[in-house]
Amino acid sequence: MSLSRTPADDVAPWFYWISIAEGELPPDLTVRCGMLGDQACMRLLWGGKWTAETLDGYQEYDPGEDGITLYFGPQTRFMPISVTGSYRVITIHLITGAPPVLGGPSQGDLRDRIVIHDDLVGHGKLTRKVPLELGYDAWLSAVEEQLRIFLDKTDRPDPDPLTAAFERECLVSPDFAIADFAESAGVSTRTLERAVQRDFGISPKLVQRRARALDMAATLLGVARPEEEPDMRLRYFDQSHLIREMRHFFGMRPTELTSGPHPFLRLNMESRQRRRLKALEELEALEAQGAAPWRDPVAEPGWKGRP
């Protein structure tokens, strides 16, 4: 079971999405999957025995009834994750660029890593603030209130609009020229590279390459719009190029992504697809005012002869 929604307006500039996932499993049943998340997120876990293969090696977590909150840094490759037994999870997705302005850890330092959130903040347990005895709406409201309390203790600076625009372009069509984007934004290529490295934890080129792989994976998993599949495949030179990239980012061939159940990865991709649809809506609003100079409107999905 999964339930997701956007946070309240006063929280939304920094936190993109809040989701609940719950699984009732036999105590000895293990689900093995994984995920590739391009945004940092916090996951509140109750129940189950969890494992993850991170940059720091094999990790084990046993949340118990009291729960544990984990901070996931942005990922550059598929992270294998398993859970044994029944579980509950609330995931809070941070907007790209939010961790640096909110005093969070370096995106580069936490790339492909997981740290215990309680160790980061040094006080309290976030999982104790959630009334599990009540319904899902109460869970979401409680999480929002804790985010609001945290924001009230900061200056609430907004994420950098430069990297927000860069992310939007990568979500819509990641094959644009970086130098052209920087010029249109009125910054040097070096300034753009520093901003992207700070907010994404990786280089602009790798952000684009990962975005292509995530879009293709969403298509293979059946959570993308079917009519976009030809455009996604044309981003690769040939089938061997596609296979190499899927192996690099996911450790699997395209056929393995298509044939397997991949429950955690599918939820991961569905959340990103919502961000992509929002980016497409924002692009349409921008195009109504004149297409951005680094774009080729004819190459965009859904183009219908607009001048």
pLDDT value for 301:
39
Q: Are residues 46 and 182 in the same domain?
A: no
Amino acid, single-letter form, for residue 155: D
pLDDT value for 124:
64
d(CA 299, CA 144): 39
Would 299 be classed as within a structural domain? no
pLDDT at 43 over 70: yes
Q: Are residues 190 and 144 in the same domain?
A: no
**Domain closes at, from 102, 127, 152:** 152
Q: Are residues 172 and 211 in the same domain?
A: yes
Lowest pLDDT segment from 86-100, 198-212, 237-251, 266-280: 266-280
pLDDT-based confidence at residue 166 (cuts at 50, 70, 90): very high
Q: Are residues 112 and 35 in the same domain?
A: yes
Q: Whole-number mean pLDDT of the chain?
A: 88
pLDDT value for 305:
35
Q: Are residues 148 and 63 in the same domain?
A: yes
Domain that residue 205 falls in: 161-294
pLDDT-based confidence at residue 282 (cuts at 50, 70, 90): confident
The number of distinct structural domains making up the chain is: 2
Strands (E), the chain: 2-5, 15-23, 30-35, 41-46, 49-54, 57-61, 68-72, 79-84, 87-94, 114-116
pLDDT value for 298:
38
pLDDT-based confidence at residue 303 (cuts at 50, 70, 90): very low
Read off the CATH number of the domain in which 166 is found. Answer: 1.10.10.60
Cα–Cα distances in angstroms (integers) from residue 4 to residues 9, 93, 267, in the given order: 15, 11, 10
pLDDT digits (tens, 9 = 90+) for 67-109: 999 999 999 999 999 999 999 999 999 999 999 999 888 899 9
State phi, psi for 60 to the nearest 5 degrees.
Answer: -125, 140
159: left (phi over 0), alpha (psi -120 to 50) or beta: beta
Using N-to-C axis directions, what is the helix angle for 204-220 and 161-172, rounded to 10°?
40
Q: Are residues 179 and 284 in the same domain?
A: yes
Read off the CATH number of the domain in which 116 is found. Answer: 2.60.120
pLDDT at 54 over 70: yes
Please count the other Cβ atoms lying within 10 Å of the Cβ belonging to residue 291.
15
Q: Which residue has the higher pLDDT, 267 or 131?
A: 131
Q: What is the mean pLDDT of residues 179-206?
A: 95
Would 89 be classed as within a structural domain? yes
pLDDT at 1 over 70: no
